[in-house]
């Protein structure tokens, strides 16, 4: 999505929040376009510098669900599956970093 590539995460998020459920309903959960939209929607949640802890948790949950579906439908070696898996690891690390209190003295 162009808005995501332009790092306009808030706008991309608003559009994808509305369009992703429509894609899931019309195209199906395992459709590649639906998977791509869910992946991008999760990215808008964790890439935004204003993201909340709840947004990070939502992104991790969404990426985990999307990765499982992509693996089942497309296979583990498909480029989309691999990209979603990479972002899942990144989002999990970001979440752990935010949940772990800093020990600065």
> SS3 string of 33-94?
HHHHHHHHHHHHHHHCCCCCHHHHHHHHHHHHHHHHHHHHHHCCCCHHHHHHHHHHHHHHHH
In a domain, 79, yes or no: yes
Residue-level pLDDT at 76: 94
Using one digit for the tens of pLDDT, what is the confidence trace for 40-90? Answer: 989 988 887 788 899 999 999 999 999 999 999 999 999 999 999 999 999
Is the entire prediction scored with pTM above 0.75?
yes
Domain of 43 in residue numbering reads as: 2-99
39 part of a folded domain: yes
Domain count, the chain: 1
CB-based contacts of 66-71 (< 8 A; 24+ apart in sequence): 66/35, 66/38, 66/39, 66/42, 69/29, 69/30, 69/35, 70/35
CATH number for the domain spanning 22: value is 1.25.40.10
Which pLDDT does position 63 carry in this prediction? 96
User: Would 76 be classed as within a structural domain?
Assistant: yes
Q: Considering the domain boundaries, does residue 104 fall inside one?
A: no
* 51 φψ region: left (φ > 0), alpha (ψ -120 to 50), beta (else): beta
Q: Considering the chain, what is the average pLDDT of its residues? A: 87
Question: Does residue 39 surpass a pLDDT of 60?
Answer: yes
């Amino acid at each position: 999505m162009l808005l995501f590539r332009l790092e306009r995460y808030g706008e991309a998020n608003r559009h994808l929040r509305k369009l992703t459920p429509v894609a899931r309903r019309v195209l199906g959960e395992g459709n590649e376009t639906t998977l791509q939209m869910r992946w991008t929607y999760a990215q808008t949640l964790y890439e935004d510098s204003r993201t909340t802890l709840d947004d990070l948790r939502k992104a991790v949950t969404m990426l985990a669900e999307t990765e499982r579906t992509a693996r089942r439908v497309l296979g583990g070696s498909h480029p989309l599956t691999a990209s979603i898996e990479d972002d899942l690891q990144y989002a999990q690390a970001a979440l752990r970093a935010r949940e772990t209190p800093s020990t600065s003295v």
